[in-house]
Structure 1
Amino acid sequence: MEFINSNWNELLHMTLAHIQLVGLAVGVAILFGVPFGIYITQKETLANLVLAVAGIIMTIPSIALFGIMIPILSIINQGIGFLPAFLALILYSQLPIIRNTYVAIKNVDPNIRDAAIGMGMTIWERLYKVEIPLALPIIMAGIRMAVVLTIGIGAIAAYIGAGGLGVYIARGISTSYETMVQVGAVAVSILAIASDFLLGQIQKRLSPEGAKVSKVART
């Protein structure tokens, strides 16, 4: 607590930097991943390929992926810092977002889909008014997993100069300062738990709406 009190402003700054890195990465991943997850529901072969590639990316150790980014982005003088960490976190976020979107849309009750077709809805109307509302809680669960995942991986991004709470962990390890490592690790854990709780509450709020849409569609 003494360390936290004496370094409160720096800790707050690092927390905000960590939130910014994760928030931007997951935000961009959502913009690409959700539409792409919906698109591949109509193309089974492409879906298998995309999910396999996303799964392979998830198996790459984060420090190794950061290392791969360095020589590639060094071409534009961005080998270390925010950009490589940002791109790596986008890649790590894709699997849970694309997979959950794909599974959610594919698992919409066929009877509900047939009812929407029978009402004369176009593909886009059916998607916007029926399928996405029903799939939203599961899509939200994928986003929730992506956020928690990237908060943890984002801590390692400090090793390539991306900032955030991982700076305390990296600095503490290099100087054998256990208190600094512990504060950094606990701060990352608290941020992940708080984010998971907040997004869980949002997911719960979305679920009843999905149930209402499902009930109306069945009627």
Structure 2
Amino acid sequence: MNQSLGEQLLKQLSQRWEDLLYALLQHMELVMMSMAIAIIVGVPLGILVTRFISLKKWVLGGAGILQTIPSLALLGFMIPFFGIGMKTAVAALFLYSLLPIIRNTCTGILDVDKATIEAAKGMGMTNGQILFKVKLPLALTVIMAGIRTATVINVGTATLAAFIGAGGLGDFIFIGISRNIDALILLGAIPAAVLALLLDSVLGYTEKLTTPRGLKI
């Protein structure tokens, strides 16, 4: 039975490899666009929370609530604002990606050693200089871990974009389910899993590179 499924998978791959490549590129576009927006918004929000601690409960709580909304429901909520297609998918994926990035940015900055901050103040550094030259470099590893987590989650969630006509690898999964063709489901699921593992490895390596070996102030 496994051999039969394998043969079906190879047959589908030989017939649809061009469509698969296009879907993979679409999937990567969805992930990259939503992650870029999430980083641009999430990191500053995380920094803001460290400056105004009273906002922490509201910002992290709001991002946490977004995480609890079922993926398909969130996609449905976005349709009246952005219509059917890629814009809606990117908006929903962006919202799903916020929590790990905001939380890790906030945690990374707040966990910076107080003695290091006091030493920077003693050298006459301004709050802005301390943030960009001390806190953010030391928190970068934790921030990268949040981005890494959000990216891996994003790759899996992006498969649901097919249900609103946004394309991606989810198209094969959706067609496979509707036609009861297991090989088509695997044709979408396997590349999505491989993509998630690949991005996780790349970001994991980047995370190691951002680990501070020393800080000059």
Instruction: Classify the TM-score, shorter chain.
Output: over 0.9
Shift of 1:175: 1.1
Q: How does 1:8-23 map to 2 (within 5 A)?
A: 8-23=17-32
| CA RMSD in angstroms, aligned pairs only | 1.0
| Partner SS state of residue 121, structure 1 | coil
Distance 2:88 2:156 in 1: 16
| Partner SS state of residue 7, structure 1 | helix
Distance 1:137 1:161 in 2: 36
Shift of 1:6: 2.5
* Paired residues, number: 208
Is residue 2:179 matched to residue 1:170?
Answer: no
Corresponding residue to 2:190 among 177, 186, 207: 186
Q: How does 1:57-72 map to 2 (within 5 A)?
A: 57-70=66-79, 72=80
Corresponding residue to 1:113 among 113, 117, 135: 117
Distance 2:78 2:37 in 1: 18
Whichever residue aligns with residue 102 of structure 1, its letter is: C
Gaps of at least 5 residues in structure 1 are: none
Distance 1:127 1:44 in 2: 16
Task: Could you list the structure 1 runs, at least 4 aligned residues long, displaced by more than 3 angstroms after superposition.
Answer: none
Q: Conserved in 2, the CA contact under 8 Å of 1:18 and 1:165?
A: yes
TM-score, L = length of structure 2 = 0.93
Whichever residue aligns with residue 97 of structure 1, its letter is: I
Distance 1:39 1:122 in 2: 17
Matched with 1:25 is 34
Distance 1:108 1:4 in 2: 50
Corresponding residue to 2:13 among 4, 23, 39: 4
Distance 1:45 1:129 in 2: 25
Cα shift readout 1:115-163 (whole Å, capped 9, x = no counterpart): 0011100111111111111000110000001111111110011100111
Shift of 1:86: 0.7
Shift of 1:211: 3.0
Corresponding residue to 2:162 among 155, 158, 164: 158
Is residue 2:34 matched to residue 1:40?
Answer: no
Shift of 1:89: 0.6
The percent identity for this pair of structures is 45
Distance 1:103 1:122 in 2: 21
Whichever residue aligns with residue 128 of structure 1, its letter is: F
Matched with 2:59 is 50
Distance 1:149 1:198 in 2: 15
